[in-house]
Amino acid sequence: MLSEYNKGVNIPDSVENDYSYLKAIFEAQQNGIFVVDKETHVVVDTNIYAVDKTGYTKQSVVGNPVSEFIVFPENAGCLIDKNNELECKIRTIDGDNLPVFMTSSSITRNGLNYQILSFVDITQLEEKLHNQQKYTQELEKSIEYKDLFTDIIRHDLLNPAGLVNGFTQVLLDIENDSNKIKILKKIKHHNEKLINVIESASKLSRLELTERLELNNIDISPIISNVVDDLKDQIDEKGIKVETRTHGSYPALVNDIIEDVFYNLLSNAIKYSPENSRVTIAIQDEKDFWKINFADSGEGVDKKDKSRLFERFERADKSDIKGLGLGLAIVKRVIELHGGKVGVYDNPEGIGNIFWVTLKKP
């Protein structure tokens, strides 16, 4: 077959103008090749790669119909009648169907028409795709279980915790024994912490499945003021002075959920600051962003711990800092959905930390 191609072809002497040179190129291809007579659909030549993949000898392939070796999809038509590319199967000597990607191109030599069918083995690719599909299905099932677990947390745990909280308050209202009141207050305190964890876990789970938020042009200054008012009891209980360094309006592209961010950051600042200390909230103009800082007077965070504070279930390595870390994880996720950043650095006034977030301007 290849000897026919040499006729009339001007090949330089430097590449040895003979059959063996072209044959070497033909056999060296790292893809299978069937050369098919376009009129008879009979294989007139094939290469080593094709022979190795099918298990046949060259003599058993050449001279036989190509349909004995290639299984075309039913809707593909006859590939050897046109230039095309598609996925099909190569029938091996063992009766297996090897998945391949095949291309077809036409040539004419000395008045004879041939179709060159070139293929590559895509078995490994199909296995990877299968594994990927399997992984996707497992991931989808995992998400379903996660949703189920979130529902269980939200309803099956939160409702009983709410009942415990209500009954504890009823007992507190009617109890006169100081020791029992002390115990009931402890029960109520820890139960409220449980409720907070349940609600935070549920909220974080929903946020992780959220891809985007609807953002509106809103002045964030009143939102911060509302959060300060909401936390007034905690502020007064510890005798903390909250200083809000804001002047005028600060329009930003935010979703209503941004209030949760400010609430979590201020709540943390209050929680970890000593009694009768100061917490400062300030907003800096960073060109296209507002940078909102929450400065506390608490114990500083080690440098190695700073990058982990906003991750789930992470806490600085300190015995007095306990919890699951869900509040700061929620802060990070919400700010990410706003296209902003989060961070923490040492308070330059010498004690405490400054937690900050950025929000886009309109």
Alpha-helical (H) ranges within 29-114 are: 48-54, 58-61
Both tokens of 102, joined, read: 């095949």
Tell whether the model's pLDDT for residue 129 goes beyond 50. Answer: yes
Helix (H) or strand (E) holding 184: helix 178-208
- Reduce the DSSP state of residue 2 to 3 states and report it: helix
* Cα–Cα distance, 76 to 78 (Å, whole number): 6
Q: What is the CATH number of domain 2-121?
A: 3.30.450.20
Both tokens of 349, joined, read: 């006034």
DSSP letter for 247, please. -
For residues 272 and 298, is the Cβ–Cβ distance under 8 A?
A: yes
* Cα–Cα distance, 296 to 269 (Å, whole number): 5
CATH architecture of the region 216-360: 2-Layer Sandwich (3.30)
pLDDT tens profile 192-212: 777 777 777 777 777 776 778
Percent share of the chain, pLDDT over 70? 83
pTM over 0.85: no
Strand order in the sheet with 342-346: 241-245, 278-286, 289-295, 353-360, 342-346
pLDDT tens profile 220-245: 999 999 999 999 999 999 999 999 99
User: Which region among 15-24, 87-96, 188-197 has the lowest average model confidence (pLDDT)?
Assistant: 15-24
Domain coordinates of the chain in residue numbers?
A: 2-121, 127-208, 216-360
pLDDT of residue 68: 87
* Cα–Cα distance, 152 to 202 (Å, whole number): 10
Report how far apart, in Å, the C-alpha atoms of 158 and of each of 172, 188, 262, 333 are.
21, 14, 24, 23
Tell whether the model's pLDDT for residue 6 goes beyond 50. Answer: no
User: Which region among 28-32, 112-116, 237-241, 293-297 has the lowest average model confidence (pLDDT)?
Assistant: 28-32
